[in-house]
Structure formats: C-alpha cells, structure tokens
Amino acid sequence: MGSYKDIFVLLLFLYTVQGDILDNYVQTNGAWIISLQENTYITLSNEECAEKCEAETVFTCRSFIFASKEQRCITLASNTETTTVFRRADAILFEKRIFLLECRRGNGQDYRGTESKTQTGVSCQRWADESPHVPNFSPNSYPNASLEENYCRNPDNDKKGPWCYTTDPETRYDYCNIPECDEQCMYCSGENYQGKVSQTESGLQCQAWVSQEPHFHEYIPSNFPEKNLRSNYCRNPDGEPRPWCFTTSLTKRWEFCNIPRCTSPPPDPSPGRQCLAGRGEDYRGTVALTASGEKCQPWAAQAPHKHARTPKIYPCKGLEENYCRNPDGVTSPWCFTTNPRKRWEYCNIPSCDDAAVVAAVAPAIPVQTTIIEDCYRGTGSGYRGTTTLTVSGKKCQAWSSMTPHHHAKTPSIFPDADLRKNYCRNPDNDDKGPWCYTTDPSTRWEYCSLRKCVDIVEQPQQQ
C-alpha cells in the first residue's frame, strides 16, 4: 500500500491536471446560454464537466454550463459569440478561449473566430456549400478544422493565414484580414486590442462588460459581438483614441486604460476607398470641402478651432492634410472648417454604388461633388444603396452571417437580390420597402431608415 505521502502526490497531480483543463476556459458566474446542440450530464465538479466538453464527438463543444446545486453539466455547441446570454444565479458558464479570440496566433491554423469576409470585403462562401465554388476543403473531409458556417479558417496550414472560398464567382478564394494577437501592446487606437489589462490609468478596477453595476450601460457583449467585450478587460468598442472601461468606482463612470503602443509597425493598412461605403470610416479620398462648401481645416492644425482629433491622438485614421475623414465612427466623413463661426460639418462624398459619380470624380478633371440621395423606388426590391441602419437605429446583420439570427435570406439563395455586406435590401419584395436582420438579439428584423425617391420633389426652375 502506498504511503500518505504517495497518495498526497497523486492527488496533487490530479488537481494540477484538472486545473490545467480550466485554464483553457473563460469563466462567467451567473450566466446561462441556450444552444441548438447540447448534452446534459451529471457531474461533481467544473473539471469533470470540462472533460465532458473536451470529449464531445456529436458536435464541437465551445462552452459548458455547470449548475453546482443540481450537479448538472451541459455541454454546448454555442458560446456568447453566437447566442444570447441570460442571467441565472446558480450557474457558471465556461467558454473555450480559442473560440472567443478574434485575432490569430502565428498563421492562424487554430483561429476559431467569426470573421466571414475576405481582406477586400467580399463575403465568404459556406464551407458546406458547393456554389459558386466546389471546395477541396469541407466539413466532411476535414472534421477537425472547424469548417462551420462561412467563417475564415486555415485548414491547410497556409503560411499567409486564414482564408475562405468567396461568394464572388470570379474569385475562388482569398485571405481574410485577421489581426495578430498581441496582448502586450496596441496598434493604432487599440480597436483590435485583445489583452487582459483590467485597470484604468489611475488604478481603478474595471467593471465587467456583462454587468450593469455600478454603472448601467449599452455596451453589452451580445450587442457588440465583433468587439470582443470579454470579462472586464479594457477595450475600444466606440472609436475612442484608446481602450477604456467602465470602472467599479461609484464616483467614476469610465476611464481610459494605460495600454502601451507597439514599437513594431502596424499591419499594412488597406488602401482605403475613394468613395463612400457605409459610414465611410475607410474613406481615403481627397474631398476637402464640407456639404455647404466650407474649406476643411488641416487635422494637425489648432486654428481656427482647437480640437483633439489630431494625427497623433488618432493614428491610422488617414488624418493627413485637410481631407474629410471619419476618425471616430460617426454618421459619415466630416471635418473642422476654416470658418471661425462654423466648428465642423459633414462632407458630401460620392457613393461607391453610383458608378457614374465615381467615374466622374477623376483626379485630372475638377468637378463639383454631386449630392446623392439614398432613397428607394416602388417596393425597393431594386435598391442598391449602402444604408445599414433600421428605423429604430439598430445596426443591420450581414446577410451572409447567421449571428445573432439564423435565416434563409442568403446571397447564395437570393443571388439576384445583391445581398452584400449588411446593406438594407428587399429580397422578398416586401410591400413596405427595404429591411434587414438586426445585430440586436432581441429584434430579429426591422425596416430600414430610408424614404421613397418620390418623396424628393424637385423645385421648378424660374421662367
């Protein structure tokens, strides 16, 4: 028989092994989620439940719930990236870290995030589909590569990183723009910062994003699935100059975090657009006049208007010269003006969907910028604009995405409806006009914030 010392060593070994299992999970107390695929077991501990999750073969286990009073273990195919979070006091939710990362390590062979667009913005084809491209890599042939939905993956260990087959018949595949995981520093304004700093620059502890105490707020992880609002880590979900968080202090609602900037150069930025798409955050054209014709003030200047939107505070936002830009993610590109009586104003940027206007704005031919009305005719089944907001201000879900709402209105099923990105469309010829699924888990779909073109009445010319 072994000695007490031998038994202690064995127990210590088992405890260490079990503890290592939970190191691969993010724990959230009092949280509960529902999955379309799940299994229930009776277990005595979190560690035993984690072992059940690791051993699942019917589906890919992304998370598990352990209810200690009932000794109930529920393994789940979903996590907080793909479904709604509920509150339940006696439950603990454990999520696999690998499925929460929206960044890649190395060449991203283990990337399991939810990015579903290529580096040029084209929607990915579902791995299980055979149109428009017949894939060499499918869920059946590569069951361990997590080839689900149309998420970017790297099943062949490509040196350049995650990729996908595209929904463009002319382009078989393309790489995805997945940022590298760097938890020690941040690039640009820290929009893609994935680190674990959870204190503000003055030393205050951060409030968990899922919590509404002590400060009530709208930055709930399920409402901003692409912002990686995990635990109480500092993040930048709203275009601030750097990451921040709500604090646990009753007297300080929020504060910036002290995240050092990376000393290495940031990843090569995309060239940007010369026309307006969405909110125009990637607009890099040379329009330098506001909608009313005011000349733009250089971003580096502090006269006639003092401001904080400088190239130093907002790096990587293209704030060179005095060109119209959208550094803080508002409605559309804008600038401070050189008129002391008008601090700032939006600019008129030609839409990328109006080929005639884009062609007309050639560098060699100075022309007056055309104002493009975003409206629809009839039922709007032919609308091809770039509006992405509903009547209540909710952001539209991408048509190719199944999160947070599963649906059948996909680009492959409705190829003639131009279901690009998350633009408002009317694929089913709804009488009331263009609509979209929303990114709000509690609101499946809504009509879009658009008006009929017939509402725009042209004034008659004077005789």
Please state which CATH class domain 373-453 belongs to: mainly beta
| Distance in angstroms (rounded) separating the CA atoms of residues 273 and 281 | 9
Q: Report residue 281 CA to chain centroid gap.
A: 14
User: Does the global pTM surpass 0.85?
Assistant: no
The amino acid sitting at 425 is R
Contact present, 435 and 443 (Cβ < 8 Å): no
Residues with Cβ within 8 Å of 9's Cβ and at least 6 positions away in sequence, in order, are none
Of the candidates 382, 387, 294, the residue with the CA atom closest to the CA atom of residue 344: 294
Cβ neighbours of residue 316 closer than 8 Å, sequence gap 6 or more: 187, 188, 189, 266, 269
Greater confidence (84 vs 334) lies with 334
Name the average pLDDT for the chain.
81
Tell me: the pLDDT tens digits for 403-455? 888 888 888 888 888 898 888 999 988 888 899 998 888 888 888 888 877 54
Q: What's the pLDDT score for residue 214?
A: 93
What the block records as the tokens of 356 is 């005639």
Which residue type is seen at 263? T
Angle between helices 46-55 and 4-22 (to 10 degrees): 60
State the Cα–Cα distance between residues 309 and 94, nearest whole angstrom.
40
**Architecture in CATH of 273-371:** Beta Barrel (2.40)
Q: Is the pLDDT of residue 23 over 80?
A: no
- Report pLDDT for 208: 93
**In 3D, which of 167, 134, 173, 149 has the Cα closest to residue 412?**
167
Digit-coded pLDDT (tens) for 96-143 = 888 877 777 778 888 888 888 998 889 999 999 999 999 999 999 998
User: Using one digit for the tens of pLDDT, what is the confidence trace for 204-248?
Assistant: 999 999 999 999 988 888 777 767 788 899 999 887 888 999 999
Q: What is the pLDDT of residue 288?
A: 93
Please give the Cα distance from 447 to 450 (Å, whole number).
8
Average pLDDT over residues 291-320: 90
The tens digit of pLDDT for each residue in 357-370 reads: 334 333 333 333 33
Say yes or no to pLDDT of 379 above 60.
Answer: yes
Q: Do domains 4-99 and 373-453 have the same CATH topology?
A: no
- d(Cα 384, Cα 417) in Å, to the nearest integer? 9
* For residue 20, pLDDT beyond 80: no
Q: What is the pLDDT of residue 279?
A: 80
Using the predicted structure, report yes or no on whether residue 53 has a pLDDT greater than 80. yes
Question: What confidence score (pLDDT) does residue 254 get?
Answer: 93
Higher pLDDT, 30 or 370: 30
Q: Tell me the residue type at 253.
A: R
Boundaries of every domain in the chain: 4-99, 273-371, 373-453
Helical ranges in 80-143 per DSSP H: none
Residue that the structure tokens 């991203």 belong to: 108
Residue 226: the pLDDT is 67
In this prediction, residue 182 has a pLDDT band, given cuts at 50, 70 and 90, of low
Q: Which CATH number fits domain 4-99: 3.50.4.10, 3.60.20.40, 3.40.50.2300, 3.40.50.300?
A: 3.50.4.10
Pairing of strands 72-76, 163-165: unpaired
Any idea which residue has 């087959």 for tokens? Answer: 165
Is there a cis peptide before residue 311, judged by omega within 30 degrees of 0? no
| Per-residue pLDDT band at 81 (split at 50, 70, 90) | confident
